[in-house]
Chain A
Amino acid sequence: MIVLFRIDDRLIHGQVVLGWGTVLKPDRIILADDLVASNEWERDLYASAAPPEIKVSILALTEAAAQLKAGVFEGEKVILLVKHPRSVLSLMDLGLPVSEVNVGGIHYREGREKVLENVYLDAEERSIMRELVKRGVTLDGRALPSSKTVTLNSRVV
């Protein structure tokens, strides 16, 4: 069961492990990212960032969608992490049902405009967000569970 589906370009880090982890008490973090999954050094780096009581699966997007759809993690509370908005779209195209995504951290870089303190989007990312909204996804803009509730849907259209 996915208890949090989050876009965060820092993937596994303090906000996820401590901020959300303390509240949601996940059994597992699934990091779904093709680049990270294909690189052993990257996999080890992120796997080391989680505390020992949280299991970590680092999977390519197709693999993540397949395993989640097959119910491999059915009995577990899972935090699903992706780096880019387009990964959410990919997972949906691969058949993963998504009703809500936490847009927790997309940080500034050139070409991105500020949407929230913790969310900056470029034109392509904005159009992906619009597509997600069109498909009925709720975009929650909280960095942390205790952050003020902000729904991004109206801010990306």
Chain B
Amino acid sequence: MSDEKYSERTAGIVVTHGKLAEELVRTTELIVGAQEDLYAVSGSDLCDESVIDRIREILARREDAHVIVFVDYFGGSCCINSVRAVEGETGIKVMSGVNLPVLLAFATKRGTMPFDEMIEHLIRRGRESLKVIDL
């Protein structure tokens, strides 16, 4: 399978409470190297509505065919605000429950498979990463 076929770029925007987004992106880069088009957006403590504007700013200048907005908590204000920010846009998915394995999979797999397949892959990766370790 040639990577050429899926060379459409996919950007990532991580939207969280606190400083989690910055730290998740920073830690991802620590492990797999500097990332293009992977953005961190967070409210200082809670997810302020100004994050809607910041997400839209990023979307406005995007050159990418697809975007995944990763949010921390399903039903939280970051999730609600992200859904609001991308309303009416095409080629964008909002995914909740972001964790480090999901972002690492995103960073290493984007561009190697079709967008929908990658979404499935990330969901699977996130779920697989939750497990009790046998001792």
Contact = CB atoms under 8 A, between A and B. Distances in A.
A14 B73 contact: yes
Interface residues of B, number: 15
B77 A10 contact: yes
A111 interface: no
Interface string A1-45: 000000001101111010000000000000000000000010001
Given A14-B17, A14-B73, A49 B79 contact: yes
Given A13-B80, A14-B17, A49 B75 contact: yes
B75 A12 contact: yes
Interface string B62-93: 00000000000111110110011001000000
Given A10-B80, A13-B80, A45-B83, A51 B49 contact: no
Contacts, number: 38
Q: Give the bracket for the number of chain A residues in contact with chain B.
A: 10 to 19
B48 interface: yes
